[in-house]
Amino acid sequence: MNKVQTYSLFTDFDIDLFKAGKHFRLYEKLGAHLIEVDGVKGVYFAVWAPSARTVSVVGDFNYWIQGEHPLQVRWDSSGIWEGFIPGIEQGTTYKYKIQSNNGGIITEKADPFAFYCEKPPHTASVIWDLDYKWKDKKWMETRKEHNDLDKPYSVYEVHLGSWKRHGEENRFLTYLEYAEDLVNYVKETGFTHVEFMPVMEYPYDPSWGYQLVGYFAPTSRFGNPQDFMVLVDKLHQAGIGVILDWVPSHFPEDAHGLGFFDGSNLFEHPDRRKGYHPDWKSLVFNYGRNEVRSFLISNALFWLHHYHIDGLRVDAVASMLYLDYSREEGEWEPNEFGGRENLDTISFLKDFNEAVYSNYDGVQTIAEESTSFPMVSRPTFNGGLGFGMKWMMGWMHDTLEYFQKETVYRKYHQNDLTFSMTYTYTENFMLPLSHDEVVYGKRSIAGRMPGDEWQKFANLRLLYGYMFTHPGTKLLFMGSEFGQSAEWDFQNSLDWHLLQYPFHNGIKKTITKLNKLYKTEPALHEKQFSPEGFEWINYSDHENAVMSYIRKGNDPKDNLIIVLNFTQVVRENYRIGITRPGKLIEIFNSDDADFGGSGVKNDKNVFVENNPYDGKEYSAILTLPPLSAVVYKIDDTKL
């Protein structure tokens, strides 16, 4: 095997950007790149290791012998080691053997910029190119029309290791199998987007992918990088957007990972009060170090560029924002102004969002942020963090708490539901019923519903009816769309056999209808982040446990009337206020017999009366089905 030759992909400008924390295409420079130099094919290697005394590439091509292929450190104090090794081909496994200046410590590390990794439990990086001929031109040219904040955004959250498994051997599906089965299913049920829990390479299955070591590599559990591109491509061709969970908040201490990379605290903050996460027993990035900022933002843009990803949901933002997160008194140090906010994180997140939105049109960033930190989803030029959306954790907690109550007690707790409207428009909120809500003894969403079997499923249909008519975008974890009974188990497939039972199949039909309603009714999405898009009819009928409201679009003729009955009592002759004359047309009823409901409905002709009520000029008398969400439109064409 030929020895290392001097070669560089870096310009002086690249180094300046890197040192300034402003190089957002580092994946084109650092890592391992198949190139040709003077007519000779091979691989250019470059790795950042400023505390290293020596760095050599080891792999199956040199029997993993240290020193056989040493890299050279650049003269510019960037800490980058590089070199060209002729003859190495795609599929070659390798690592970096690093001897540190700090006491001669030797580490053997996977490449932080590797495009592909060995299948766990093996830990080497793999030489790979990212060549692929995309077929999603139509989607990419029009995706802004799908992803804007005034468009329907119904997200199906998927864990690739457990959505479906194959046969008695319980093996994973491949990316290519998902490109058929998952794409067809999502298209059938009508979700607009899929969100994948982390697909970046991770060593430990029980982490669900949230402890990353290969930030630039889709996990090899399900196939190679091009196979994952096929999955994204097929989703796009079916008109479905793709969101990835992204984890810039922490990383594991695995020996081959980023931790103590060159014998120093390179990626992690050197102060354990800022550099160690006590909940997850993991390391925290040093957001104040410019080179780390370049690494992270480059990683975000890498997925948008090479994999055509349409959005990034940023995990655990709250843990990044607060210096005292999960820390007791004395375990954290205030910022320079005496506060608990991590100023480096705030600056980093603003830079990240500005980089995403300035470089890629028609994408969104979404923050999983569980506190009242202000202006998370407001533009940076207005003082915000710059995210497109934020998870509405308060809505999720209050709603599930309410729905778990027996119906006889609900009249005492209606404020649990109405409270969300006091702060709904402070952020661009996404309503999440995510994976975190169906594990660790919390039970499945269906399993939380009270009552007998009929009531449980009626409550679940009502919950989804409420969710889809509440302002904000939507996210539902896999299995919840057919009423999975058991908690989520990452080691096994969803319980697809349940779809043979009418109640479970009815939940799937309900979600399919709600997704269609959300997409086709402008009032449910055009003003979903504006107070102009919502008006109460009556939120104070605690005694009957009934709520009613109006959702509004740009055209008043598109307005919808929603009536929710949170008990199993059929409410006859129930009067609600109406804003204009006409005839009420029922367009959705969660109690429909086709969904597994009792089939209670109003006559086809429910005329609006010239009789003021609920502070409105008109009113109508309805029959409210048990445990139901009913949606009406006003037909005034014959007036």
Q: Centre a 10 Å sphere on the Cβ of residue 473 and count the other Cβ atoms it contains.
A: 27
The question of whether 131 is a catalytic residue gets the answer: no
CB 7 within 8 A of CB 82: yes
Contact 544, 527 (CB under 8 A): no
Amino acid at 298: S
Say how far apart CA 156 and CA 8 lie, in whole Å. Answer: 43
In this structure, the chain runs to a length of 639
Any bridge partners for residue 473, and if so which? 430
Of 397, 622, 615, 595, nearest to 502 by C-alpha is: 595
- Which structure tokens are listed for 255? 């020996």
- Alpha helix segments (H runs only) across 26-129: none
For 527-577, the three-class secondary structure string (H helix, E strand, C coil) is CCCCHHHEEEEEEEECCCCEEEEEECCCCHHHCEEEEEECCCCCEEEEEEE
168 Cβ contact partners less than 8 Å away, ≥ 6 residues apart? none
**What is the separation of C-alpha 127 from the centre of its chain, rounded to a whole number of angstroms?**
29
Q: What would the DSSP string read from start to end of 216-237? A: EEE-TTS--HHHHHHHHHHHHH
Amino acid identity, position 636: D
| Catalytic status, residue 614 | no
Residue 239, CA distances (Å) to 139, 142, 149, 516, 568 in order = 7, 10, 17, 14, 39
> In 3D, which of 465, 378, 372 has the Cα closest to residue 417?
465
| Cα–Cα distance list, 503 to 19, 190, 517, 561, 571 (Å) | 59, 19, 21, 26, 23
Catalytic residue among 14, 68, 315, 351: 315
Instruction: Please tell me which residue in 368, 369, 481, 591 is annotated as part of the active site.
Output: 368
Catalytic residues: 315, 368
